[in-house]
Chain A
Amino acid sequence: MSRLLMFLLLVGLMATTTLASASSGQDQPDFQGPPPDPASLYAENCASCHGERGEGRVGPAFVLLDDHSDDEIYHTIAEGRPERGMPAWEARLTPEEISALVGYLRTLAAQAQPPAEEEPAPAHAAGADLRLVLTLQEDQVVAHASLRDEQGQPMAGEKVAFALRTTLGGKLNLGTFVTDEEGVATLRYPAGEVPSLTLEASYPPEAGDPIRAVASIDLPAGQEIPPVATGLFSPNPPPIAILLLGLVVGGVWITYVWVAFQLLRILRVR
């Protein structure tokens, strides 16, 4: 009984925090509301580039955050780094929210594994085993590359490069991803409307001759294109337009045939 009560209490608590964070997300930046919740702010605005735990994706990981003062970090968020693709946030976040984010980034950086002193040398890769599994989740292809060392132990914190095999032996680099505690690096790729996808994982990314794993997945036929609004865009061309075009182009081609006939007459003169 007490367990059930405890559970209900927990659920209620979670619901209120979720609601609170949801409402703070919808608020205007200048609204004097409850104190900003940096975690949800981070998840909404930063995680898509810097990773859910600050491990870095398009944007860098927060491993070197200790080298910078709070002020510097604040200004980086507020003004962005346009030359490296990071937008300025001061128009969209209040100063309080940015300050809260600075503190949150510090906690993220503290939680993150400090960069391993003994970086795995390429020789490390010799006995490693890389496997790639592709699954389809809704409209995304999820690629799990699991990396194990020669003892079969998962290798965490390693970088695995993903690439898309394109036509005629080409390759499109999709970026490098870091393996988690279970030694699995995960990539999500939109399935699109292609009949199949072939992805390749390689480790270590910098090596000249990395170990590779290749996997393919057949995709269901692409979704049907939704009908376009009517108006100028009619699904079927007006018959009169086809008729006119056919008459004009057909007339030209009939003339060509007539010219060919004249050539035949030249040939037949004896």
Chain B
Amino acid sequence: METPSRFQPQERTILRSLLHSGLPFYLWVAGLGGLFLWGIRAYTVQLQEGLAATGMRDYVSWGLYITNFVFFIGISHVGALMSAILRISGAAWRKPVTRMAEAITFSSLFFGALMPIVDLGRPDRIWHLLVYPRIQSPIVWDFVCIFTYLIGSTIFLYLPMIPDVALLRDDLSQAKGWRYRLYSILALGWRGMPDQHRSLERAMSVMAVLIIPIAVSVHTVVSWIFGMTLRPGWNSTIFGPYFVMGALVSGAASVVVAMAAFRRFYHLEEYITLKHFRNMALLVLALDLIYIYFNIAEYLTVGYKMEEAERGLLYTLLGGEYALAFWLVQIGGLLLPALLFILPEVGAVERIRRVPLLRPWPLAAAASISLAAMVLLVTQGPTQTGVDFGSLGSSLSWAVALLLALLVISTLPALRAHRILAYVLGAGLIVIQAWLKRYLIIVPTLLSPYLPIQDPRIEWTTYIPTWVEWSITLGAMAGFVLLYTLFSKLFPIVSIWETREEEPRPAVTHYSREREAEA
């Protein structure tokens, strides 16, 4: 049988992305690998010098590592959301993007699970968690949940891959390389027989139902690690759903970014169309709005009562040391993406082109200049001198915010012409927001304990991450993207058999009957 006839022409593009890699790909992998190795190098420094190599001290005992941990675990929720919920609800448009989501789950969960180990001063004692577990401890709950989710999501990623791996195995049967051997093992002798289909469908439907409560439990338990302690800002009953929602929105947004990247670099325009982006954007928008609602609920109930300890924390967040980051998260990371998803849909934005003042480029220049000025002012240290900078700084930031708002308005017609760009921009902002938000949940709270900090050394009352922490963070991010990239080179990132199923379902059975006749 002629090999090409097994695949439709559009499927050939997926195969090409698997088997052919250009120079840019190798450069990309080398860059990510270099960053990852640099992170490992930084970790060896930490192993030698202990946690003294980090900026964490008595008060801030959780820093970048736990931020990364919550971030990665959050991103990982998208697998359960996209594949399981959409699979159960029978949304057919999900088919080309489910595997991207599931692979994100797998890679981010892998690095997320590593982060608490990096955070340990004595990682050689991690096995104590297995040997002397105390079921009363949220850390043990967390360990059980994350391990269960890691195994479950790996199975869930693997199951729908079996028919595709079998296709690849058959395609490569002429050239018996390592790929052929790998695919032969992973295909489990799949020949598309009805019995095999039945077993697979059964396993997949059970896993799809099972993975949802596991995923919800994972992030709930992560939030309980915070919520079960007595700390201002963490002592909250809505922390479970609040974290789950933050996880879902960041995960869905990261899928939008991945979709755009794969579409561009693997030429998957035939598979991933504007329709998919729009549906994903609607999903992200809905989750984003719910998350905004949770934020309001969380801060309003605390801020209305203004209890003694919470007051200090709220002042730091809303108007103090962390105010810039806080408002960047709330406005730039949650509100602005929602606007970027909604406003380009409005037909009236075309008329903006006619307003001469709103031509984008002069405004862009003005905004960037004033942004630079503000950054300069902030880094020049108004906090140290503390004289009259407050009002100047705040009026300047208002001016910059106004300019940025004008900039967004002026670019709306262009974004209407390039919807996908608008969606990816919004999704990217949400992903950045997700990381920053975790940092803001962890560090300011640790700096505002119930018992006031009294007379310690000055460097113990602040948290400034060291180069070791930044390097490990960077290495983990690079490692996550690297694992994801390598996965997409080893297995088709778009499910071939499921997208084929979309049009004529008999295609698969026809194919398998053909194979039977051959056999």
Task: Please give the residue numbers on chain A whose beta carbons come within 8 Å of chain B beta carbons, in ascending order.
Answer: 82-83, 85, 87, 166-172, 233-234, 237, 241-242, 245, 249, 252-253, 255-256, 258-259, 262-263, 265-267, 269
Contact = CB atoms under 8 A, between A and B. Distances in A.
Contacts of B52: 172
A262 B206 CA distance: 11
A170 B49 contact: yes
A167 B200 CA distance: 49
A262 B136 contact: no
A263 B165 CA distance: 14
Contact of A85 (B47, B155, B203, B457): B457
Given A266-B189, A266-B200, A237 B136 contact: yes
A269 B189 contact: yes
A269 B195 contact: yes
A168 B122 CA distance: 11
User: 9 closest Cβ contacts across the A-B interface?
Assistant: A170-B48, A262-B203, A237-B135, A267-B188, A262-B199, A87-B455, A265-B199, A85-B457, A259-B203
Contacts of A234: 136
A249 B188 CA distance: 28
B214 interface: yes
Given A256-B155, A269-B195, 12 more contacts: A85-B458, A167-B48, A167-B122, A237-B136, A249-B148, A252-B210, A259-B206, A263-B203, A265-B196, A266-B196, A269-B191, A269-B199
A83 B458 contact: yes
Contacts of B48: 166-171
Contacts of A266: 162, 188-190, 196, 199-200
Nearest to B202: A262
A256 B211 CA distance: 11
Given A255-B210, A262-B200, A266-B196, A241 B189 contact: no
B405 to A, nearest CB: 41
Nearest to B192: A269
Contacts of B159: 259
Contacts of B182: none
Contacts of A83: 458
21 contacts: A83-B458, A167-B50, A167-B124, A168-B44, A170-B49, A233-B136, A241-B135, A249-B148, A252-B214, A253-B148, A255-B207, A256-B152, A256-B155, A259-B155, A259-B203, A259-B206, A262-B200, A263-B199, A263-B203, A267-B188, A269-B193
Given A169-B48, A172-B49, A258-B206, A265 B135 contact: no
Contacts of B50: 166-167, 170, 172
Binding site secondary structure of chain A: helix
A61 B136 CA distance: 49
A229 to B, nearest CB: 14
B340 to A, nearest CB: 39
B8 to A, nearest CB: 25
B417 interface: no
Contacts of B464: none
Binding site secondary structure of chain B: helix
Contact of B47 (A168, A253, A256): A168
Contacts of B505: none
A204 to B, nearest CB: 23
A242 B140 CA distance: 12
A188 B144 CA distance: 41
Interface residues of B, number: 36
A167 B135 contact: no
A172 B49 CA distance: 7
Contact of A249 (B134, B144, B202): B144
Contact of B189 (A85, A255, A267): A267
A180 to B, nearest CB: 27
B372 interface: no
B188 to A, nearest CB: 4
Contacts of B214: 252
B297 interface: no
B342 interface: no
Most buried by A among B144, B162, B193, B203: B203
Contacts of B202: 262
A245 B207 contact: no
Nearest to A252: B148
Contacts of B193: 269
Contacts of B124: 167
B151 interface: yes
B294 to A, nearest CB: 26
Given A249-B148, A266-B188, A237 B200 contact: no
B227 to A, nearest CB: 14
Contact of A82 (B144, B207, B458): B458
A40 B162 CA distance: 80
Contacts of A241: 135
Interface in B165-197: 188-191, 193, 195-196
A31 B50 CA distance: 48
B152 A171 contact: no
A203 B188 CA distance: 66
A234 B134 CA distance: 11
A168 B43 CA distance: 12
B136 A256 contact: no
Contacts of A256: 151-152, 155
A77 to B, nearest CB: 14
Interface in B121-144: 122, 124, 134-136, 144
Contacts of A263: 188, 199, 203
Interface in B92-140: 122, 124, 134-136
Contacts of A233: 136
Contacts of A269: 189, 191, 193, 195-196, 199
Contacts of A87: 455
Nearest to B133: A237
Contact of A170 (B47, B134, B188, B203): B47
Interface string B14-57: 00000000000000000000000000000010011110100000
A255 B206 contact: yes
A82 B188 CA distance: 69
B151 to A, nearest CB: 6
Contacts of A168: 44, 47-48
Interface string B141-158: 000100010011001000
Nearest to B191: A269
B224 to A, nearest CB: 14
A97 to B, nearest CB: 18
A267 B162 CA distance: 11
A252 B162 CA distance: 22
A241 B144 CA distance: 14
A197 to B, nearest CB: 14
Contacts of B162: 266
